[in-house]
Amino acid sequence: MERNDWPRVLLAWFDANRRDLPWRESKPRNPYHVWISEIMLQQTRTEAVKPYFSAWMERFPTISDVAAADEAEVLHAWQGLGYYSRARNIHKAAQVIAEQYGGVMPRDPEDIRALPGIGDYTAGAVASIAYGEKRPAVDGNVLRVYARLYAVREDILKSAGRKYITKLAEETIPGDRPGDFNEALMDLGAEVCIPKHPRCAACPLRGFCEAARLGIEAELPVRTKKKPQTEWQAACAIVERDGRFLLHRRPPKGMLANMWEFPMALAPEAEESRTALEKLLGGCAGEVRWTLTHVFTHRIWHMRAYDMETACAPSGEDWRWFTRKELRQIPLAGPHARLAAIV
């Protein structure tokens, strides 16, 4: 076979091995389903996304339903997936689609790309998978597959490496099945051409792979090493009065914006964070009732929750009391939803 036959071989493999996923069920493919699944899959494992996707579609069957909801409802539906800016951008984009496109995802890739929270990858995925447009969808899986297939030694996290691989994808994507081709690359990267210990013996493209021929598949792709995460001690307070719990709403900008959390103080050392929490609430922290280490992209929280029987609620509209039932209905900041489950 010729070198440029590999897309046809990949599609044949995909036809026999494609993953059964809930967002792939509709025929023709629903652009709304493609969009939401791709946003959910950013930084989140496929198996973890499946129940969230199904629950989301039950709650918001159409783009117009998302647009009509308030932000708190959208954030609550997203709770547990993390990276809440994704949910906020979905809400903003849905409102644009409702106002400018009658609640239907636009077909033109440039119009899709212009929506809040949508980059080149998601625009390419929606345009190719839902609308059959010849557009690449280059994510981490695809970068890795091309880097090995063509023995690309450029850093895939830098602009030059990404641009080079995107050009390769543009040149090799077949015009008759662009959506299937993009999904085939995603599946190959997720199931076979995995980051560590690639399953080369099971790869349909082994005969075309330059990295395999050179014996350097374990060395590719080249990636810049990430900076180490900063670690913080997080002291949290469980303050209960007459069946209601004191919570604080985070600022409207920044990490976990506008999400509710139990009173919390961050510091480099555990004793510092506990002291800061006691100063914040004017009370004494009791026994540790709950612990959790929560890992974000750039930081780690080592969390301890203390019972605080003597505490004063700070003034301001960002401090409120909630019943246990209400705790299940409001958007809680990431790990604080897990704390709410035990009170």
Q: Tell me whether strands 230-238 and 299-307 are parallel, antiparallel or unpaired.
A: parallel
Residue percentage of the chain with pLDDT more than 90: 93
Sign of CA dihedral 137, 48, 11, 106: negative
How many alpha carbons lie under 13 Å from residue 247 in its C-beta half-sphere? 24
Q: What is d(CA 77, CA 72) in angstroms, rounded to the nearest whole number?
A: 9
Quick one: pLDDT at residue 294? 96
SS3 annotation, the chain:
CCHHHHHHHHHHHHHHHCCCCHHHCCCCCCHHHHHHHHHHHCCCCHHHHHHHHHHHHHHCCCHHHHHHCCHHHHHHHHCCCCCCHHHHHHHHHHHHHHHHCCCCCCCCHHHHHCCCCCCHHHHHHHHHHHHCCCCCCCCHHHHHHHHHHCCCCCECCCHHHHHHHHHHHHHHCCCCCHHHHHHHHHHHHHHCCCCCCCCHHHCCCHHHCHHHHHCCHHHCCECCCCCCCEEEEEEEEECEECCEEEEEECCCCCCCCCCEECCEEEECCHHHHHHHHHHHHCCCCCCEEEEEEEECCCEEEEEEEEECCCCCCCCCCCEEEEEHHHHCCCCECCCHHHHHCCC
CATH topology of domain 3-219: Endonuclease III; domain 1 (1.10.340)
**Per the structure block, which two tokens stand in for 163?**
């641009």
Q: Would you say residue 68 has pLDDT above 90?
A: yes
| pLDDT number for residue 308 | 95
Residue 82 has pLDDT above 90, yes or no: no
Would you list the domain boundaries of the chain? 3-219, 230-340
What pLDDT does 271 receive?
96
Radius of gyration of the chain (CA): 24
Query: Which CA distances in Å does 197 have to 16, 121, 141, 191?
Result: 23, 26, 14, 11
pLDDT at residue 98 is higher than 70: yes
CA distance 145 to 152: 10
Do 71 and 47 touch, CB atoms closer than 8 A? no
Going 75 to 76 to 80 to 81, the CA torsion angle's sign is negative
Global pTM value: 0.88
pLDDT at 63: 98
pLDDT in tens, 309-335: 889 999 999 999 999 999 999 999 989
Instruction: Report residue 198's pLDDT band, with 50, 70 and 90 as the boundaries.
Output: very high
Q: What confidence score (pLDDT) does residue 1 get?
A: 67
Average pLDDT of the chain is 96
Predicted confidence at residue 259, as pLDDT, reads 94
Position 43 scores a pLDDT of 86
For residue 180, pLDDT over 70 is answered with yes
Give the rounded percent of residues in the chain with a pLDDT score beyond 70. 100
Residues classed as catalytic: 38
Find where tokens 């036959």 sit: 5
Q: Which amino acid is at 316?
A: G
In this predicted structure, the answer to whether residue 156 has a pLDDT above a threshold of 90 is: yes
Question: Identity (one letter) of the amino acid at 298?
Answer: H
Residue 297 confidence (pLDDT)? 85
Kindly state the average pLDDT of the residues 37-45: 94
What superfamily does domain 230-340 belong to in CATH? Nucleoside Triphosphate Pyrophosphohydrolase (3.90.79.10)
